[in-house]
């Protein structure tokens, strides 16, 4: 079986990164997510989009089309929160752009200005079926900067960006305490005050911009403009909070200012399910296998299942680590929930359509259906089995070899 998988992967690698006029992906079993699984299926991709999908016996294929095959094909996986491409694989100063320690409030920092498509971590996670990632500035400051949604492959070094500013990243709790640096505050009360003050200043800036005479308008302020978009609910506030007391503060701020809140981390979110459901807050849950220490002391493998059972929207993420290589593989984080209350198709949906809906990109990715962007993940078995290999990923209709391919 191993020799067969490697042989298939080697054959697939020969056409990798070449955009054919038509690419056909054959699957012994296809999980489109938009409908029931299809046995002996094909997906036809043309000009970067899905042109047809269905049973092999009834789906037309143009003569001469390039073909690849796999036992299981699913939509390209979505990492709902990461720092890859901003925090690089070398863990050296020149590739660590995820957090600027010089100030506690920096919403004007754009992820797109720091993202590096050529960083090896991006290709590495693509090798496990991840085709779309929500990435950008990391937790660690009261407001660290913006995030973006981007594909894990592009044209040359030009990334395919789905959302240039997806959210503004903020942190409450010990993760942003500013001991020995300027990026945080030393107490929870000071953190909340800094964040509240920044939002009030943005409110006042927006008021003056809209009411002052043309010659009396305040000078442009990128910080206030960015937070003004948060206040106008154009851009969510992605707020990292692990402890229940910090999650409560996030909910109070949301109620006070009316912004759209995305909860990141949420180790103790299971203690506040009623409040989170009432506030309609989606949860970008901490990586399943994150170490349960310090503010994550109450993190649990069972959290995803419990939060889903309470009616909350939950997505998997690779997250941020303070050690090399600062990212995990979201596929493995989802697999770890399988024995702990998350069914196979539920976990697969969370990695695809569920994450796409939470990020607001479900009209583009997350399912295998006509007209969607041509993103697929190919496996030689059950994607959640540790012995399964990813044979490759298709991003925008172009095949890229997976972690099983020979190097």
Cβ pair 268, 287 in contact under 8 A = no
pLDDT confidence of residue 371: 97
* Whether the predicted pLDDT of 17 surpasses 80: no
Q: Which residue has the higher pLDDT, 181 or 311?
A: 311
How high is the pLDDT of residue 8?
39
> What would the mean pLDDT of 290-294 be, rounded to a whole number?
90
CB 242 within 8 A of CB 264: no
pLDDT of residue 180: 54
pTM of the predicted model over 0.85: yes
pLDDT at 13: 41
Task: Compute the average pLDDT of residues 172-191.
Answer: 81
- The reported pLDDT for the residue numbered 326 is 72
Q: What is the pLDDT of residue 86?
A: 94
Q: Answer whether residue 6 shows pLDDT above 70.
A: no
Residue with the two structure tokens 């990164």? 17
Of 273-277, 337-341, 401-405, the poorest mean pLDDT is in 401-405
pLDDT of residue 181 exceeding 80, the answer is no
Determine the longest span between alpha carbons in the chain, in angstroms. 74
Mean pLDDT, residues 242-250 = 98
Q: At residue 382, does pLDDT exceed 70?
A: yes
| Positive/negative CA dihedral, 298, 302, 308, 313 | positive
Give the pLDDT of residue 302: 96
User: What percent of the chain has a predicted confidence (pLDDT) above 90?
Assistant: 78
Euclidean distance between CA atoms 224 and 226, whole angstroms: 5
pLDDT band at 183 (very low <50, low <70, confident <90, very high): low
Axis crossing angle, helix 188-211 with helix 244-257, rounded to the nearest 10: 20
- The shares of helix, strand and coil residues in the chain, as percent rounded to the nearest 5, are 30, 25, 40
Per-residue pLDDT, 179: 62
Residue 232 pLDDT > 70: yes
3-class SS of residue 247: helix
Give the per-residue pLDDT at 155: 81
Give residue 47's pLDDT.
93
| pLDDT classification of 5: cutoffs 50, 70, 90 | very low
On the question of pLDDT at 121 being above 50, the answer is: yes
């Amino acid at each position: 079986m191993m020799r067969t998988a490697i042989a298939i992967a080697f054959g697939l690698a020969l056409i990798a990164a070449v955009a054919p006029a038509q690419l056909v992906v054959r699957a012994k079993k296809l999980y489109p997510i938009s409908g029931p699984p299809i046995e002996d299926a094909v997906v036809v991709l043309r000009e970067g989009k899905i042109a047809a999908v269905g049973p092999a016996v009834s789906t037309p294929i143009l003569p001469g089309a390039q073909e690849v095959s796999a036992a299981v094909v699913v939509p390209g996986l979505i990492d709902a929160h990461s720092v890859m491409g901003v925090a690089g694989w070398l863990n050296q100063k020149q590739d660590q752009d995820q957090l600027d320690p010089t100030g506690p409030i920096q919403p004007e920092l754009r992820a797109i200005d720091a993202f590096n498509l050529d960083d090896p971590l991006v290709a590495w996670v693509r090798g496990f079926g991840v085709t779309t990632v929500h990435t950008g500035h990391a937790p660690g400051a009261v407001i660290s900067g913006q995030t973006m949604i981007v594909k894990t492959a592009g044209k040359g070094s030009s990334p395919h960006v789905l959302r240039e500013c997806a959210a503004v990243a903020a942190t409450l709790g010990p993760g942003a305490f500013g001991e020995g640096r300027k990026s945080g505050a030393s107490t929870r009360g000071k953190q909340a005050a800094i964040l509240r003050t920044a939002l009030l200043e943005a409110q006042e800036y927006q008021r003056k911009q809209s009411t002052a005479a043309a010659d009396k308008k305040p000078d442009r302020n990128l910080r206030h403009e960015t937070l003004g978009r948060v206040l106008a609910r154009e851009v969510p506030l992605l707020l990292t909070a692990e402890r229940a007391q910090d999650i409560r503060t996030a909910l109070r701020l949301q109620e006070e200012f009316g912004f759209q809140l995305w909860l990141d981390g949420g180790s103790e979110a299971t203690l506040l399910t009623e409040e989170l459901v009432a506030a309609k807050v989606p949860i970008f849950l901490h990586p399943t296998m994150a170490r349960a220490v310090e503010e994550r002391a109450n993190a649990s493998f069972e959290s995803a299942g419990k939060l889903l059972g309470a009616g909350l929207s939950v997505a998997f993420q690779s997250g941020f680590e303070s050690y090399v290589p600062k990212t995990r593989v979201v596929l493995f984080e989802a697999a770890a929930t399988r024995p702990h209350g998350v069914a196979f198709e539920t976990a697969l949906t969370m990695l695809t359509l569920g994450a796409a809906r939470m990020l607001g990109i479900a009209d583009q990715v997350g399912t295998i259906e006509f007209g969607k962007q041509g993103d697929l993940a190919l496996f030689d078995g059950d994607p959640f089995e540790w012995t399964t290999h990813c044979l490759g990923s298709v991003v925008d209709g172009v095949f890229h070899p997976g972690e099983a391919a020979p190097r």
